[in-house]
Amino acid sequence: MAHPVTRPVITRKNIDQLLDHGEMEIAMTSGKWWNVRRNGRTQLWKTMPERIRIPIKYGFKFCSFIDEGDFIDGTLNPCHFRAKEQPTTD
């Protein structure tokens, strides 16, 4: 019997850990999911604590960033980003 898999919810608290361990994916327009890597340090603002900016890289040459607009109700938009599947243990 196969074990079910779960995906952790991506929040501002665990996004750095997921990126550092290579456990995040981004949705492409083709419907495929590609691995996301960190491309710099996480930027936070003392005067505006709601702001965040994390540079990312995916594929061979694509660069972008994650910012506060990518979060919906405290979690990263699941239509664009997801954590890799984690096997559950019984």
- DSSP assignment of 24-52 equals EEEE-TTS-EEEEEE-SPPEE-SS-TT-E
Residue 83 three-state SS: strand
62-73: average pLDDT: 94
User: Does residue 2 carry a pLDDT above 70?
Assistant: no
CA distance 58 to 43: 19
| pLDDT band per the 50, 70, 90 thresholds, residue 53 | very high
> How do the domains of the chain map onto residue ranges?
5-87
| pLDDT band per the 50, 70, 90 thresholds, residue 85 | confident
- Residue 67: CB partners within 8 Å, gap ≥ 6? 51, 52, 53, 54
| Contact (Cβ atoms closer than 8 angstroms) between residue 77 and residue 67 | no
